Structure 1
Amino acid sequence: MQVVPLPALADNYIWVLHDDDGQAIVVDPGEAQPVEAALKQRDLQLRAILLTHHHHDHIGGVDALLARNDVPVYAPHDERITQATHRVSNGDVVVLASPASRFLVLAVPGHTTTHIAYTGEGVLLCGDTLFSMGCGRLFEGTPAQMLASLDRLATLPGNTLVCSAHEYTAANGRFAQTIEPDNAALAARQQEVAALRARNQPSLPVALSTEQATNPFLRTDNDAVIAWSRRHGVEGDRVARFAALRANKDVFTG
C-alpha cells in the first residue's frame, strides 16, 4: 500500500492510500480538487472515503467527490457528518476488498467528542488527535480524554507511520524544545523537518517511535516534562501535566 499526503487548504493533508492496481482510499478530504487531481494524475480509482471527525476542513470535499464517485463513506456516529454510509465506532474493523485492506477503528475523543482514528496496513490515520511533536486542541473533550486517547495511540507498534492531518510539525517542534531543550532526538527531528520544509516536502508520515522520543504530549511521564511542569507550578498527576502542556501550547507564539 502506498501512502500519499495531498496538501490542501491552508495546511491540511488529505491522505490517499492506494495499491499497485490503482485502487484508492481517501482520508479526510477537506476539499475535492486535490483528490480529483491526484486520482487523475496517478490513474487511480476511488473506492472508499474514511472520515475521522466532523470539522469542515476534513469533510468539505466529500459531497463533490460523491457526485463523481459512488463509494462508501466511513465515519463516526456523529449527526454532523451527513454523508456517512457506514457508521463505525471503537473496536469496529473496516474491511475493504479493493484495495485489499483492513483498519481497526479506535475511539480517540479529545479534539472532538466523537473523533476516531483508523489503524492498519502499517499506518495510523489519526486526524487531529496526534500531530508530529504535538496534539490537537481540545475543542470538545477534556484533558483526561485526550491524554487517554494519546496513551492508546502510543501503544501501537513503533514502526507505525503516523499520518496526521496538518503540517504543524515545525511549530510544534519549537514548542517541544522549550519543554525538553536537551532532547537530542528532538533536535535531530527539528533539523530533519527544517530540511524537508525548505524543499517544500511534507514532514509526514513519521514513525510512531520518533514521536515517542520527541513529542512532549506522549512524554508526560518523562523526567524532563515532570521538571518543566514543576517549574510551572504543576505538582499534580499526569493529567494535570498534560493540561499544562496543552494550555501553554495554546498560547505559544515561538
Structure 2
Amino acid sequence: MTSEDDILLSDDQGAVRILTLNRPKARNCLSMELMTALSGALARAATDDAVRAVVLAGAGPAFSSGHDLKELTARRNDPDRGRAFYDETMRTCSDLMLSIVRLPKPVIAAVTGIATAAGCQLVASCDLAVAATDARFATPGVNIGLFCSTPMVALSRNLSRKAAMEMLLLGDMVGAEDACRLGLVNRVVAPDRVVNGATELGRKIASKPARTLKIGKEAFYRQAEMPLDEAYAYAAEVMVENMLDAEAEEGIGAFLDKREPQWPR
C-alpha cells in the first residue's frame, strides 16, 4: 500500500485499485487537499492499463462526513467572506464527482460508517456501492442552514424524486437496507466484508473486455440525460460501433463456437 501525503492510500489488488480516504480523525471529510489528491489518483487510474476497476473506501469509523466545515468556516475571515474559496471548493468537488462518472473504468464505493452530505454525494456518484449493515447515509445540510445542493445532483440521479427530496428536506439518517431499497447502494454485507465485497465485484468486472466496459459506461451516463428518442438513436450508433470492435467480433465468435473468448489486448 502506498501513501499520498498520508491522506489518501492506494493499494492494488490485482486489476482492482483500492483508494482509501485516510483522515479518520476528521471522519474523512473532503478538504481541498483530499479532493485534489483523490482527483489525481483517479486520473492516474484512468490511464493505467493494469487497473480495470477502482474501489473507494474510508479509513476508520466513517466513509466520509462531507465537506470540511472547519476549513470552510475559517475562510469567513477572508476579505470576501470566503466567497472565492467556497467557489473553488464547490467547483473542485463537482469536478471530482464528474471525474468518477467520466472515468473509463467502473468505480465502486465500499461504505462503512456514515456517508453524509458530500460523502453521500461521493457514494451516489460511484457506479456501484457496497455498504456495511451498520452504514448510514444522509444529506443533513438543511439542519445547519446549508441545503445539500451539490449532493442533490447525484442523489436525484440515483433515487426517485420523492425519495431524494425526503432525504434532502428532512436530513435524517437512512440505514443501509433502506439505502439499498432506494437504489443508493447495490449490496449490504457484514462490516468486515465491505472492502472485500467491493473488490470481488471489481475483479468480476475486470474479467470483462476493457473497451466494451468503457463504451458501455460512457453510453449509460450520456443516454440517461437524453429524451427517449434521442437516447435510442444514440444507443443504436454506439451498438453499431461496438459491433465493429474487435472485442465484439471475438466475443460473438467465441459464443457461436462454444469456446472461451480470448480478449484482444
Report the TM-score when normalising by structure 2.
0.30
Bigger relative CO (Cα 8 Å, ≥ 6 apart): 2
Rg larger for: 2
| Higher fraction of strand | 1
Report the TM-score when normalising by structure 1.
0.31
